[in-house]
Amino acid sequence: MTVERGILFVVGALVLASVLLSVYVSPMWLWLTGILGVHLMQASFTGLCPVVMILKKLGLPQKSGFA
Protein backbone atom coordinates (compact mmCIF):
# COMPACT_ATOMS: atom_id res chain seq x y z
CA MET A 1 0.00 0.00 0.00
CA THR A 2 1.21 3.50 -0.81
CA VAL A 3 0.57 6.79 0.96
CA GLU A 4 -1.92 7.80 -1.72
CA ARG A 5 -3.95 4.61 -1.38
CA GLY A 6 -3.69 4.83 2.41
CA ILE A 7 -5.30 8.27 2.35
CA LEU A 8 -8.20 6.94 0.31
CA PHE A 9 -8.63 4.04 2.73
CA VAL A 10 -8.51 6.16 5.91
CA VAL A 11 -10.89 8.86 4.66
CA GLY A 12 -13.26 6.29 3.15
CA ALA A 13 -13.35 4.35 6.41
CA LEU A 14 -14.04 7.53 8.41
CA VAL A 15 -16.87 8.60 6.08
CA LEU A 16 -18.42 5.14 6.23
CA ALA A 17 -18.09 5.06 10.03
CA SER A 18 -19.68 8.49 10.42
CA VAL A 19 -22.62 7.54 8.19
CA LEU A 20 -23.18 4.30 10.09
CA LEU A 21 -22.93 6.12 13.42
CA SER A 22 -25.43 8.72 12.23
CA VAL A 23 -27.91 5.99 11.28
CA TYR A 24 -27.54 3.85 14.39
CA VAL A 25 -26.49 6.33 17.11
CA SER A 26 -27.26 9.97 16.35
CA PRO A 27 -27.59 12.20 13.26
CA MET A 28 -25.03 14.51 14.88
CA TRP A 29 -22.31 12.20 13.51
CA LEU A 30 -22.97 13.64 10.04
CA TRP A 31 -20.89 16.62 11.14
CA LEU A 32 -17.85 14.35 10.91
CA THR A 33 -18.66 13.65 7.26
CA GLY A 34 -18.89 17.39 6.60
CA ILE A 35 -15.65 18.09 8.40
CA LEU A 36 -13.89 15.41 6.35
CA GLY A 37 -15.19 16.98 3.14
CA VAL A 38 -13.97 20.43 4.16
CA HIS A 39 -10.60 18.98 5.13
CA LEU A 40 -10.24 17.25 1.75
CA MET A 41 -10.91 20.54 -0.04
CA GLN A 42 -8.47 22.39 2.25
CA ALA A 43 -5.79 19.75 1.71
CA SER A 44 -6.17 20.00 -2.06
CA PHE A 45 -5.30 23.72 -1.89
CA THR A 46 -2.62 23.73 0.81
CA GLY A 47 -1.13 20.25 0.56
CA LEU A 48 -1.26 19.91 4.36
CA CYS A 49 -2.76 16.64 5.58
CA PRO A 50 -2.08 15.03 8.95
CA VAL A 51 -2.91 11.58 7.55
CA VAL A 52 -0.11 11.93 5.00
CA MET A 53 2.39 12.80 7.71
CA ILE A 54 1.33 9.80 9.80
CA LEU A 55 1.46 7.39 6.85
CA LYS A 56 4.92 8.65 5.88
CA LYS A 57 6.18 8.12 9.44
CA LEU A 58 4.80 4.57 9.26
CA GLY A 59 7.09 4.03 6.29
CA LEU A 60 4.61 3.70 3.45
CA PRO A 61 6.14 4.41 0.05
CA GLN A 62 4.97 7.32 -2.11
CA LYS A 63 4.12 7.30 -5.80
CA SER A 64 3.31 10.20 -8.05
CA GLY A 65 -0.43 10.09 -8.61
CA PHE A 66 -2.39 6.88 -8.97
CA ALA A 67 -0.18 5.08 -11.48
Distances (CA, A) of 65 to 8, 18, 34, 46, 62: 12, 27, 25, 17, 9
Q: What pTM was computed for the model?
A: 0.79
2, with CB counted inside 10 A (0-12, 13-18, 19+), is: middle
Q: End-to-end alpha-carbon separation of the chain, Å?
A: 13
Taking only the tens of pLDDT, the chain with its 67 residues reads: 888 889 889 999 999 999 999 999 999 999 999 999 999 999 989 988 888 889 899 999 988 765 4
**CB-based contacts of 31: which residues, under 8 Å, 6+ apart?**
none
